[in-house]
């Protein structure tokens, strides 16, 4: 199992015309090993669909040495040999997952404010998505880059910026303290998911100390 966290997480879109797997597989083609993680998220899918999609994504992510997590479903994560599980804010605490599924060590969570992040730290969660950074339909008040920086200050947990994030925002978000970014529409809605991911990775590379 890989333990290093990626700088980008791709969240699947089960409503994509080709299903949740195809755009992610295209995006991952040729990406640097370990640079991307994938979260299988499909709240209304059947168990059989989740397992089929999870196995297909496991094959694609293993090929690129990328991490795979499953949203909410620790049982499905074990079945498809995912690296971990991603918990919604109102979901089970990390301690409960580790107690019932001791083989799952990578646990992500979605949070929306500083208090939620601090609770995640107390629960020894591995990392968090904080959202929404920019306006997203139906996702509440956007916090912006400055708001993101205020929420994560001194939290001490790898935190990814989620919500309307694109390549032009990456430099300011990394400067504000983001460990990386999490995206769905930027990849799944792109005409060319591979090119879209390469653009995001290039923008992240430019934030590195020796970036150009």
Q: Per residue in 20-48, pLDDT tens? A: 999 999 999 989 999 999 999 999 999 99
Give the model's pLDDT for residue 2. Answer: 47
Give the model's pLDDT for residue 211. Answer: 60
Give the model's pLDDT for residue 212. Answer: 53
Is the C-alpha dihedral spanning 22, 92, 128, 36 positive or negative? negative
Considering only CA atoms, which of 9, 30, 15 is closest in space to residue 192?
30
Res. 181: pLDDT tops 50: yes
pTM for the whole structure: 0.95
CB 35 within 8 A of CB 201: yes
pLDDT digits (tens, 9 = 90+) for 102-118: 889 899 999 999 999 99
Tell me the pLDDT band of 92, cut-offs 50, 70 and 90: confident
What is the residue-averaged pLDDT of the chain? 94
Give the model's pLDDT for residue 186. Answer: 96
Give the model's pLDDT for residue 86. Answer: 98
Average pLDDT over residues 125-129: 97
Res. 205: pLDDT tops 80: yes
**136-145 long-range contacts, Cβ below 8 Å, gap at least 24?**
136/163, 136/164, 139/163, 140/112, 145/169, 145/172, 145/173, 145/176
Res. 1: pLDDT tops 70: no
Residues 6+ apart with CB under 8 A from 151: 113, 114, 117, 130, 143
Give the model's pLDDT for residue 30. Answer: 87
Give the model's pLDDT for residue 199. Answer: 97
8-205 has which fold?
TIM Barrel (3.20.20)
Question: With b meaning 16 or more CB within 10 Å and e meaning fewer, what string describes 27-42?
Answer: bbeebeeebbbbbbbb
């Amino acid at each position: 199992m890989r333990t290093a966290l990626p700088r980008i997480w791709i969240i699947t879109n089960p409503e994509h015309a080709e299903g949740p797997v195809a755009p992610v597989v295209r995006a991952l083609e040729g990406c640097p090993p370990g640079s991307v993680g994938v979260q299988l998220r499909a709240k209304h899918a059947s168990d059989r669909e989740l397992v089929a999609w999870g196995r297909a994504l496991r094959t694609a992510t293993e090929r690129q040495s990328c991490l795979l997590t499953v949203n909410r479903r620790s049982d499905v994560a074990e079945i498809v040999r995912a690296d971990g599980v991603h918990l919604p804010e109102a979901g089970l605490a990390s301690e409960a997952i580790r107690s019932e599924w001791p083989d799952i060590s990578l646990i992500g969570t979605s949070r929306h404010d500083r208090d939620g992040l601090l609770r995640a730290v107390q629960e020894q969660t591995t990392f968090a998505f904080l959202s929404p950074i920019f306006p997203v339909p139906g996702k509440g008040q956007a916090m912006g880059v400055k708001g993101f920086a205020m929420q994560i200050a001194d939290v001490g947990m790898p935190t990814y910026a989620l919500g309307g994030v694109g390549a032009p925002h990456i430099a300011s978000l990394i400067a504000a303290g983001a460990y990386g970014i999490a995206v769905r529409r930027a990849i799944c809605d792109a005409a060319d998911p591979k090119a879209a991911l390469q653009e995001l990775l290039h923008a992240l590379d430019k934030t590195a100390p020796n970036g150009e």
